[in-house]
A = this chain, B = another copy of it.
Amino acid sequence: MIVAMRAEATDSQINHICDRIREFGYTPHVIRGTERTVIAAVGPGDKKEHIEQMKSAEGVEDAFPILQPFKLVSREVKKQRSAIQVGDVTIGDGGFVVMAGPCSVEGHEQLMSTADAVAASGARILRGGAYKPRTSPYDFQGLAEEGLKLLSEARNRTGLKVITEVLDTEDVELVAEYADILQIGARNMQNFALLKKLGEIDKPVMLKRGLSATIKEFLLSAEYIVTHGNPNVMLCERGIRTFETATRNTLDLAAVPLLNELTHLPVIVDPSHATGKRSLVSPLSKAAVAVGADGLMAEVHPRPEEAWSDGPQSLRLEEFAALMREIAPYIALRKSESN
């Protein structure tokens, strides 16, 4: 931790800060500059509470940490990248795994036809919402357990693994019975009760980045799950909220290689939610391969113009098949690079 004193700070204020730093268990180093004094605190960690207390003290201009606040998810702690096993599917081993399916599970025919098609095209994991986080209470809220059962049936039928979102701590057990991967949506990235609960289950979790979450906050939310006992966390970049309105969100693809520097957890990209536009899914999927993502999540619907949610960004079945053909040479190219 570094504490910068105000230009007019007194010696007694400086001494008081040094005493507090020692109370915290750090060693203070006073550096007297031409314009102001800076105190470096060397010690076991940069606790936020200590930094805030320093900021609140008399004579202090600012205080800030040197160390990153996340630990278990950090590559400083674990150099080797983590691979997550979901049955016979491995995420994070250098390959590229595709998760596809409808935004919402709407019914038997819709889900089964989608599942059959995406499996035939090469997806390994079926997505589909049974519990839907909807901005308006008047929008479709999901089929709940009925939706989970349909997902389960689709798994049995196709061999696809199933990922689905959980919204409430009270539903975690039920969802974990049916799903292979539990998803935490962007709006719940800082629902800490839910993060803790998912730290206690033995199924992999995919954590979506919050609409206005920094990379640091994103990793700290993952850290919640890991510190509570579940190491099988994958991250999903799905676009952040900016002033731009031509796309639904702004896909932050630089986050992918940056996360790969900072954390050993796998990173998935969701271009459907990020852009809200079907026509942008294919170019951004290729880009996701190119920047080193571990996989893709794409929305697919047999008839987007009848979808109960997210139709404008959903690929038709044949469009998804085309997408898989289009990204295949990029995946092959990336594979050849790493050899």
Instruction: Spell out A's residues near B (CB within 8 Å).
Output: 2, 4, 7, 20, 29, 31-36, 38, 40, 42-44, 47-49, 52-58, 66-67, 69-71, 76, 133-141, 167-171, 187-188, 190-194, 211-212, 214-217, 220-221, 223-224, 227-228, 240-247, 250-258, 261, 271, 274-275, 277-280, 283-284, 286-292, 304-312, 314, 326, 329-330, 333, 336-337
Contacts and interface: CB of A to CB of B under 8 A. Distances in A.
A71 B33 CA distance: 17
**Which interface residue of A29, A244, A252 has the most chain B CB atoms within 10 A?**
A244
Contact of A254 (B7, B224, B250, B308): B250
A224 B138 CA distance: 9
A315 to B, nearest CB: 11
Given A169-B193, A187-B192, 9 more contacts: A48-B139, A52-B312, A214-B245, A215-B244, A244-B252, A250-B250, A254-B280, A287-B287, A329-B336
A305 B245 contact: no
**Which interface residue of A69, A212, A247, A336 has the most chain B CB atoms within 10 A?**
A212
A40 B4 CA distance: 11
A18 to B, nearest CB: 14
Contacts of A243: 212, 214, 240-243
B214 A193 contact: no
A289 B334 CA distance: 14
Contacts of A171: 193
B286 A290 contact: yes
B254 A136 contact: no
Contact of A38 (B2, B33, B169, B247): B2
